[in-house]
Structure 1
Amino acid sequence: MKKQILKYTCGIALIIILMTLPFVPVVKQYLAIPTQLNLYTNHLETIQFTDDNHPLDLVAEKGQEVVNIDNNKIKPENIGQTELKYQFKDIPVKKVNVNVDQQYQVVPGGQSIGVNLETLGVLVVGYHYIGEQQMGLSPGKETGIKVGDNILEMNDQKIQSIEDIGPIVKEAGETDQAIDVKYKRGNKTFQEELTPSFDELSDSYKIGLYIRDSAAGIGTMTFYDPITKKYGALGHVISDMDTKEPIEIKSGSIVRSKITSIQKGGTGSPGEKRASFDQNEGLLGNITKNSAFGVFGNLDHELKEGPLAEPLPIARAEEVKEGPAQILTVINDEEIETFDIEIISAIEQKNPATKGMVLKVTDPRLLDKTGGIVQGMSGSPIIQDDKIIGAVTHVFVNDPTSGYGIHIEWMLDEAEINYTDTLAQAS
């Protein structure tokens, strides 16, 4: 009985010790020391993870030329990698891997842009029933083609626009022949035979599909690289308004856009920027990718400069912190302005993912004009401590003052910018 009581008492004591250890100053500082540290050569401030009374000493294991250590303070000196260790009376306690890079810089955007996308083939957005709705027939649906599929070829002829389909359907109908259709769904490609049906209402042959070959909208430029001329915008994928599926593109372009008015957002009712742009004028560049992290391509013409026209360094995900920040966006014509926000929470992401931070609009003028985050604001660059940390992506439907942001490094990866080569070109 006494042994059981002793065992129980020791167990409780051990639990109490484990629960209180993280609050002990020495242990708390030990836990605050990272195992991986990324620094930049143009980082002027020194970094210290322990106070002057801490019993641990910091020394460099190798690569002493990479960083300078003075009184347990770390300052980057040269590009390279090194290992530091904290020790207690020559006994190693914790190792820190340090990587020092030259800081990569891009120009923040904020410009309102018109986005034009040409789909890969033509996109199926619905079914058309030949005859009465209840008894009608959709040949395309009967074949197995689904909403969201992309029709790529008909009778070995590439389909690039809606106009390509009409003559093929007419010829097949009049000769009573099936059409060999090649279409794509996700990563899979299918090939089926589709026989058109005669529609008495239109006095023509139909395949029973509603299709679309292009899409357009507005968004905000996030950044561009003045050396490679590559850019990133929006911060999220563009989906078809009917199918809600991401649009697989053949090509696209971005053009200058002017904000003409704003529909203010409210609870349960997202607002939007209303803009004018000409698809054939004010061309800025092409679109080569529509991904989960935005649209990307190359600039062919100069952008309108904003309040931050010079390149700014980027911040890695682990550098983003809770607290004040700013966004660059347009709420009138083409004027780029700076507005205050607050980073409510930041998620340190090791792998690419959307929704890396939660933000809240605090700027009184922006709240009065838009109610917070509105459609068309996606891609607005987020600036914190004179660094680009990410872009606005989504609004909370029940709270238009708040929304999500994406970390800038994931957008840079999607833009396929080689940091090392780019920095070498600049030096």
Structure 2
Amino acid sequence: MQQSKAKRLLLSLMLAFSMLVSAQAANSTSLIPIGHTVGIKMNAEGVLVVRLNDVQTPDGPVCPAREAGLAEGDVIVSINGTEVDSNDSLQKQIALSAGQPVTLAILRNGSSQSLTAVPRVDEKGVYRIGVLARDSMAGIGTLTYVDPETGAYGSLGHGICDSETGVLLPLREGSLLYSVVGSVQRGKVGEPGALQGEFTADTSLGTVKENTESGIFGTLTDTALYESLEAVPVASADEIELGDAEIISNVEGDTVQRYSVQIVKIYPEDDEYGRGMMLRVTDRALLEKTGGIVQGMSGSPVLQNGKLIGAVTHVLVNDPTCGYAICIEKMLNAAG
């Protein structure tokens, strides 16, 4: 009941060290906070089953995938030993079966399993097993930080999940693309807003190597977004205080600005929803432009007392002036 209520209140904006080691690492690290939007394009490792559909056969509707035990959220990685990495390759292997049983190698909750399905021919003469699958995703988010010495970055503060199943997209490869904000859909109570980003596939800024529950991570290959910026110290979780702070965001065109916020609540390290702190936007300019926190601002760095302390991750659906942020310490731990 509690979890269901929390899901209604939260909207994710399209992942260990010991406490002592982590705090020492945070105190000795300097990173560049960025706050610029980027286009994020990811291709899945295998294909993610989003929905099971009936195959309309001459004998009536059937769903071979369901009969085989396949479920929404499963990841199909191979068919009869041949890897599948796209919907096209999935359908090709099903078509090649000519109706003979096929062996599906899948991942379910991180565990490998093997299932057998018998494709059926539909009314158009095409063999199918009755799955709607997803093999890639694209969207807009905000870069949180970059290590000026290595180019390693972190972004979003949460993982990229399938919107229908909630499953973390298993990453095969991904890239960051240069982006500008074309327009803003303002947030209002019950209806979160969003940044409308514009990006093209021929302006790569870097790679996406990890998709985790605490953010996406990789390497920036283009220094344009940070070569003129300065690094700041990284704060450990126990340095975060209630009160004044700032977020760095790109909510118009190519402009990155600092906006005032208040940290109104700090959550325990073992918070079941992964929250580090609750923020309230107090900056009049940002409130007028966006209504508060909107989708696409996920990953906006949070600073306090001259240190990088976290990244914006969620908006409160019933109050868009408020949202949640992850502690930077947790992001760095996820990045390894």
Normalised to the residue count of structure 1, the TM-score between the two structures is: 0.70
Partner of 1:150: 75
Q: Are 2:332 and 1:412 equivalent residues in the alignment? A: yes
How far apart are residue 165 of structure 1 and its match? 2.1
Deviations along 1:21-67, whole A, 9 cap, x unmatched?
A: xxxxxxxxxxxxxxx999x9xxxxxxxxxxxxxxxxxxxxxxxxxxx
Amino acid at match of 2:90: I
Partner of 2:12: none
Q: How does 1:100-179 map to 2 (within 5 A)?
A: 103-131=28-56, 136-173=61-98, 176-179=99-102
The 1:195–1:220 alpha-carbon spacing in structure 2 relative to 1, beyond 3 Å, is same
Instruction: Give the deviation of 1:353 after TM superposition.
Output: 7.3
Comparing both structures, which one devotes a greater share of its residues to strand?
Answer: 2
Q: Is 1:205 the equivalent of 2:127?
A: yes
Q: Aligned equivalents of 2:322 and 2:68: distance in 1? A: 45
The one-character-per-residue Cα deviations of 1:161-185 (angstroms, maximum 9, x if unpaired) are 1221233222212xx4211111111
CA contact (8 A) 1:258 1:277 kept: yes
**1:237 equivalent in alignment to 2:159:** yes
Q: Which has the larger radius of gyration?
A: 1
State the Cα deviation string for residues 227-254 of structure 1 (Å, max 9, x = none). Answer: 1211100001111022122111112111
Cα distance between partner residues in 1 of 2:158 and 2:259: 21
Which stretch of structure 1 is more off in the superposition, 250-259 or 296-305?
296-305
- Which of 381, 387, 394 lines up with 2:307 in the alignment? 387
Q: Of residues 228, 233, 242 in structure 2, which corresponds to 1:313? A: 233
Counterpart position of 1:295: 216
Structure with larger RCO (C-alpha < 8 A, sep 6+) = 2
The within-5 A match list for 1:77-116 is 103-116=28-41
2:250 equivalent to 1:330: yes
CA distance in 2, matches of 1:187, 1:130: 28
Aligned CA RMSD, in angstroms, stands at 2.4
Alpha-carbon distance in structure 2 between the residues aligned to 1:170 and 1:101:
53
**Amino acid in structure 2 at the alignment position of 1:396:** L
Distance 2:101 2:271 in 1: 48
SS of 2:332's partner is helix
Following the alignment from structure 1 to structure 2, what is the Cα–Cα distance between the partners of residues 250 and 145?
Answer: 22
Q: Secondary structure at the match of 1:301?
A: coil
CA contact (8 A) 2:27 2:236 kept: no
Tell me which moved more, 153-162 or 164-173: 164-173
Distance 1:287 1:103 in 2: 25
**Residue 342 (structure 1) aligned to one of 249, 255, 262:** 262
Distance 1:137 1:102, change over 3 A: closer
Pairs aligned (count): 316
Tell me by how many angstroms 1:157 deviates.
Answer: 0.5
2:111 equivalent to 1:188: yes
Segment drifting more, 220-229 vs 296-305: 296-305
Percentage identity across aligned positions? 36
Q: Deviations over 1:71-115 (max 9, x none)?
A: xxxxxxxxxxxxxxxxxxxxxxxxxxxx79963100001010111
What runs of 5+ residues in structure 1 fail to find an aligned partner?
A: 1-35, 41-98, 417-427
TM-fit CA distance, 1:321: 0.6
**Following the alignment from structure 1 to structure 2, what is the Cα–Cα distance between the partners of residues 177 and 327?**
57
SS of structure 2 residue aligned to 1:215: strand
Amino acid at match of 2:148: P
Q: Is the contact between residue 32 and residue 226 of structure 2 (CA under 8 Å) also seen in structure 1?
A: no
What runs of 5+ residues in structure 2 fail to find an aligned partner?
1-18
Q: TM-score, normalised by structure 2?
A: 0.88
User: Deviation at 1:303?
Assistant: 3.8
Task: Measure the CA separation in 2 of the matches of 1:332 and 1:351.
Answer: 33
2:207 partner letter? N
**Quick one: structure 1 residues 409 and 102, their matched pair in 2 at CA, closer, same or farther if it must change by over 3 Å?**
closer
State the Cα distance separating 1:318 from its structure 2 match.
0.7
| Structure 1 residues 324 and 193, CA gap change in structure 2 (3 angstroms) | same
Runs of 4+ in 1 over 3 A off after TM superposition: 99-102, 350-353
